[in-house]
Amino acid sequence: MDAWWGALPVFDKILWGISVFSSFTFIIQTLLTFIGVGDHDGEIGVDPDLQHDVGGDLDADAGSFFLGYFTIRNLIAFLLGFSWGGLVFVEQGLSKFWVVLGGTIIGLVFVAAVMAIMKGLSNLMSSGTITLKEAVGKEGTVTIMVPGKMEGKGKVNVSIRGKLMDLAAITREEETLKRGQQVKIVALSNEQLVIEKYL
């Protein structure tokens, strides 16, 4: 084993490291999701409409649009596909350019697949016994920033029947509700939770 590892080029070692890390993390995420601890990503957790705190000089709408896709779950899915796909291409003797390009394409395919699976889980949840109406009146925590004045969607983590769920949320507040902000769900509008700051 040591001899095999020692003989690997640095590039291959990096791919193997990423593949082991992403595989382990993906398995843990999957287990947590199915036992109700992980989020179900009501809108895949990567819905392009979901907003995130971008900061910096990026335009808020454009940055939020991009970062709506950037979740830990999607990152792990991408790394999983990228690393294992890259290793397959390495075994085929392809150059680093084609390994990176091919791995990137496979990584994106993995992300799309995870998004579809999480969307399916979300649909199962919404068609089951738990309804969004049950969240009204409860307190929660913002996990993806919620733009003020109903200008976009974010996400709020709320416990319903003992299960922690990340659900789409909007707010009528003048200011943007930042990640980590304690909020209260006050209404339901178009299958989205309406939240306000919890004082």
Extract long-range pairs of 88-93: CB within 8 Å, 24+ residues apart: 90/11, 90/12, 90/15
Q: Are residues 177 and 88 in the same domain?
A: no
Global confidence as pTM? 0.49
| Tokens of residue 73, six digits | 């779950």
- Whether 45 is in a domain gets the answer no
Taking 90 as the threshold, does the pLDDT of residue 100 lie above it?
Answer: yes
Q: Are residues 8 and 27 in the same domain?
A: yes
Q: How confident is the model over 3-38, as pLDDT tens digits?
A: 777 788 889 899 999 999 999 999 998 888 777 544
Q: Are residues 193 and 108 in the same domain?
A: no
- Whether 54 is in a domain gets the answer no
- Whether 15 is in a domain gets the answer yes
Taking 90 as the threshold, does the pLDDT of residue 60 lie above it?
Answer: no
Lowest mean pLDDT among 5-14, 39-48, 141-150, 185-194: 39-48
Q: Are residues 136 and 164 in the same domain?
A: yes
Burial tier of 91 (Cβ tally within 10 Å: 0-12, 13-18, 19+): exposed
The predicted structure's pLDDT at residue 115: 84
Q: How confident is the model over 158-168, as pLDDT tens digits?
A: 988 788 888 88
Mean pLDDT, the chain, as a whole number?
78
C-alpha distances (whole Å) from 30 to each of 25, 37, 53, 66 are: 9, 10, 26, 24
Listed in sequence order, the residues at least 6 apart from 183 whose beta carbon sits closer than 8 Å to its beta carbon are 139, 140, 141, 142, 146, 156, 169, 171, 177, 195, 196, 197, 198
Q: Are residues 142 and 99 in the same domain?
A: no
Lowest mean pLDDT among 69-73, 86-90, 138-142: 69-73
- Whether 192 is in a domain gets the answer yes
Question: Residue 6 and residue 149: Cα distance in Å, rounded?
Answer: 57
Place 123 in a pLDDT band, splitting at 50, 70 and 90: low
Q: Are residues 119 and 158 in the same domain?
A: no
Beta-sheet pairing, 163-171 with 192-197: parallel
Residue 94 domain boundaries? 2-37+68-126
Q: Are residues 85 and 15 in the same domain?
A: yes
The predicted structure's pLDDT at residue 160: 83
CB 163 within 8 A of CB 185: no
Q: Are residues 91 and 18 in the same domain?
A: yes
Closest CA to 161 of 134, 141, 185: 134
Looking at the 3D structure of the chain, how many domains does it have?
Answer: 2
Triad 126, 131, 136: Cα angle to 5°? 135
Question: Domain with 158 in it: what CATH number?
Answer: 2.40.50.140
- Whether 121 is in a domain gets the answer yes
Domain C-terminal end among 110, 126, 142: 126
Taking 70 as the threshold, does the pLDDT of residue 63 lie above it?
Answer: no
Q: Are residues 119 and 171 in the same domain?
A: no
Taking 50 as the threshold, does the pLDDT of residue 39 lie above it?
Answer: no
- Whether 155 is in a domain gets the answer yes
Q: Are residues 151 and 115 in the same domain?
A: no
Question: Residue 182 and residue 179: Cα distance in Å, rounded?
Answer: 9
